[in-house]
Amino acid sequence: MSGITDFDALRRAMAENSERPEGPARNARAEELLAEAEKLGIPLAVVEALGHQLKVYNYSSEKDKMFVPFARLLRMWDERPEDFDEYEVHSLHWVFKWMSSGMLDQPHVPLASIEKWLGEMEHRYRLAGHSERAVRSAEFSVAAHVGDVPRAQRAYTAWLAADRDDMADCHACELHGQGWWQAEQERDAEALLLWRPVLEGEFTCAHEPHTVLASSLVPLLRLGRTDEARANHLRGFRLVRSMESMRGAYADHVEFCALTGNEARGLELLAERPAYFTDSGHPRSRLEFLSVVTLLMERLDEVGLGERQVPGPAGRTWTALELAAHARAEALALAARFDERNGTAYVSERARARMAQRPLVDRLPLGVRAAVRPVAAPAAPVVPVAVNDAAEPDLPALLAAARRLSDTLRPNAVEAWAAVSRAAEGAELDARDRAEIVDHEAMDRGPEGAELFERAAELYAEAGDPGEALAARTRAAYVRALAGRVDEALAAVAEPYDRVLALYADDATEVRQTASVLMGRARILMRRVHEANESAEGAGQVNGAVEEAGPAGESGPAGGGGSAAAPSGETVLGDAEAAVRELLALVGGYSGADVRIASREAEARAMLAELAVQRGDLEGAVELFGRASAGFVGAGLPWFAVEYEARLAGLAHHLGDIAEAERALRAALEHGGAQLEAVGRAQLHLQLGEVLGGRGLSVEAAEHALEAAHWADEAGEGRTLGAWARHQLGGFLLRQGRWAEAAEVLESALPDLTAETHGDGAVVQTQWWLGDCLSELGEHREAAERRLQAAETARHWPEQHDHATLAHLAAESLGAAGLPAEADRAYARAGELWRSLGNVHGLVRSLRARAWLALRADDGADAARELMAAAVRECESVLGDGVDDEEARERLVAELGHTHRQFGDLLARSAAEDADDDSIRAALEEALAQVGEAVAVFASLGDDALHSRTGAELAAGWLESDLSRPARAAARARAVLAAYDGAGDADGTAQERRTEAEQMLQVVEEQGAD
């Protein structure tokens, strides 16, 4: 049963249907409503129902259905124009523009018919007295579509020259079209200048800034303005995601992903809209969509993922290669139909050009949660080698290159020795060469390389280098310590230690070999320190970033993890310190060219820093970590400094030296360079972002949080570290008022944030921030949902202030969403919480909010009065009990003043328009009494409440005027003017109050004259 029994019911039903999401269901309902309208026997009802049907078709994927209802409307207008009211006459002429663009988008409509329609439109607009602006705009669209550039330019000029009238498209839509033409002519800067008022929110409409945001993406990328492009993608995609009719704009966002290294996100976008592959009601946007699908799929094939399964048309599974071929064929077939209709090759040329685009950015991090970038399995690293005339690897050259890299501690030394090993298969090598090959293979094995180190020691001994043999045995001992066998390692290093010292005393080995043994022993003793203090592990957030590439290519610095936990046994610390200082005595102050020896001194300083941390000497540790970092940088090994700069940053932050923490983190990022692993880079960026955010530098902090999210995803840590980075990024964007971007980022973080991994505080904060963003964006129902979710978690916390605040915010959102009953319950809950916390301000505000909600309800005036009166009583009760703190007392007095003022406003609005004069007068008298109380309360606070007092004074003046007391109203206006006597022009509120007071004087003078 339809329930459509009269014209008003039909109008209500059409209004309700207009609010439904775009799509076939809304279109079907419009068709039903037209049938119901025809039963009413009212011509205007049929006209309105046809107009409604035409509108929902236009804003859907079934645009091809528009022509039938429009033809019927036009026939009805020609036959009986008196059946149309003023609004429907305007609507009929407005929809002429939809018809012209609609015909252009349908390749089966002949071009001659479109040209004829343009003439018809021009004729009818002239008869109706409209400007030719809309006609010239439509002509421009036709000429641009067929590729007739001279005609398009003439029409474009005529379009802009014609007067704007009520048939012209809105400013936002016109600017989009004008900017689009500039971008088509490769004038990207001019396009963006035209679009600026739309992008900045000066002009908006149902589809703007949606399409401008989408259209701006490629021009911004071409101009290198990648930050703006990223922001416009996040803002714009949020707007078009749920709008079925915006397939063309959606395609622009897929294209953006394909051109910025965000192929994974592009696939996610395709998966969200499977119907876009096949919806045929708007062929032109389907051509655009299929063109960018081709672009994305061929890009996947270029990176070796042609066989990857991808989202595609329903009914079968697709690989990227298969979908690329399908989409290309479908797109070009559609383009050919347009070209056949147009008599040009322009549409096909543009489609092919779009498919052939090359990436404009290798990778543009977006900050949102997405699958790891799809890449093919990496090929084995290519090590450049010299070749002889027979194209065989030049083994001597490989050996020389590998030795040069290992002697200078280059990060890729181990890989170079692996290349030597491969090239040496079957070749005759001397013992020294074989020793170095085995030694570096052992280094590549990490804790599993002990036996290979022992084999290398044998080969070094065979080669006549006993010192290097002892160093290799020490490395074998150290990797046992890394495996947790510290006592075994100490026993194993005892003999090499004694023997190398004896050899060095006899000049039978060099400083390098001796330092290597002493360093290995010190590392083992440092491992014992950390084993004795397990709680110290993990305090350094980037310790794993460089560990596998430690000095001399060995198994890494001994620092491992460490923190400011309680010190371990003094004997353990003393043994380690003695070993480190013995090493420093050997290498300290070394000024030679051997970077290995210089690196030993730097690492020894870092060990002393770790020991200082264990003893609680954080200031000393900061100084020693700084010397260690400077030592590595001075030796030309900046990547080894990263770990210690990060440790220094953490300690400096703990000590409150924010500037030093920031300096160290920036240095760590700079010195890490390409050698820094993805997870380490993510952690450093995140730490720096948090430091900068703490200083209020939210713009730069957001940049580092964005980088952190990107590198966390690259490291496969998107669900852990990446989620935390997105949480932080969303907060930094929110601080800048970038609500849509922040909402996208926070929504993408939430699925991965868990109480177990990140803490329930992070989950609640993310939901809270997201609720704030959604509220600012006008998405009040969704904001309420997020705030209620956060409140439910906070409900279980011992401290209930957050719970109360979130309940209150959720109530605000529910009220703004048009859910008064739900809002009242949430405010009541918040009020109970505020009362339990002793927070009278929160309680009073919840009561006032409930009062305003009650006033909206039928017969709710009495309940509204009682709630507002209760708010007054709560303030007076606390003030009556006495408030010791003067500042708190003044805040509470101000709260009472605001409550009286709102009470007065509420009473004034409660006077029903259809009430008798005596009832209205009584309500206004009550209102005046409350506002008068507000004036008195604010006056008691002196100049601190001046603006509040004058605002209440003016409200009282208007009430006096409504009660026909011009003299009293004038007195109040003069009191306000006197209060601001001498106030400067810079005080905006003072200027507003003066202006209103002068208006009041003018009104009451006229009232008195009457």
pLDDT in tens, 575-605: 999 999 999 999 987 777 889 999 999 999 9
pTM here? 0.83
> Does position 148 have pLDDT exceeding 80, yes or no?
yes
Residues 619-629, mean pLDDT to the nearest whole number: 95
Distance CA 102, CA 934 (A): 60
pLDDT digit string, tens, across residues 44-79: 999 999 999 999 988 888 888 888 898 899 899 889
For residue 1009, what pLDDT band results from cuts at 50, 70 and 90? low
3-state secondary structure of 112: helix
Note the pLDDT of residue 502.
95
pLDDT digit string, tens, across residues 790-813: 999 999 999 999 999 999 999 999
pLDDT digit string, tens, across residues 383-420: 444 444 444 558 899 999 999 998 888 888 889 999 99
Q: What is the DSSP code string of 615-680?
A: TT-HHHHHHHHHHHHHHHHHTT-GGGGHHHHHHHHHHHHHTT-HHHHHHHHHHHHHHHGGGS-HHH
Amino acid letter, 170: C
Task: Give the tokens for residue 4.
Answer: 């459509």
> Does position 465 have pLDDT exceeding 80, yes or no?
yes
pLDDT digit string, tens, across residues 880-915: 888 778 899 999 999 999 999 999 999 999 876 655
Task: Give the tokens for residue 729.
Answer: 């990024």
Residues 968-991, mean pLDDT to the nearest whole number: 88
Note the pLDDT of residue 546.
25
Residues 596-619, mean pLDDT to the nearest whole number: 94
Distance CA 624, CA 647 (A): 11
Sequence-distant (≥ 6) Cβ neighbours of residue 198 within 8 angstroms: 172, 175, 176, 204, 208, 209, 212
Note the pLDDT of residue 67.
85
Note the pLDDT of residue 23.
85
Distance CA 231, CA 703 (A): 12
Say if residues 907 and 884 touch (Cβ distance below 8 Å).
Answer: no
Note the pLDDT of residue 104.
92
Closest CA to 259 of 176, 332, 183, 356: 356
pLDDT digit string, tens, across residues 186-226: 999 999 999 999 999 999 998 999 999 999 999 999 999 99
Note the pLDDT of residue 372.
54
For residue 824, what pLDDT band results from cuts at 50, 70 and 90? very high
Note the pLDDT of residue 534.
59
Distance CA 398, CA 290 (A): 51
Sequence-distant (≥ 6) Cβ neighbours of residue 735 within 8 angstroms: 693, 698
For residue 569, what pLDDT band results from cuts at 50, 70 and 90? low
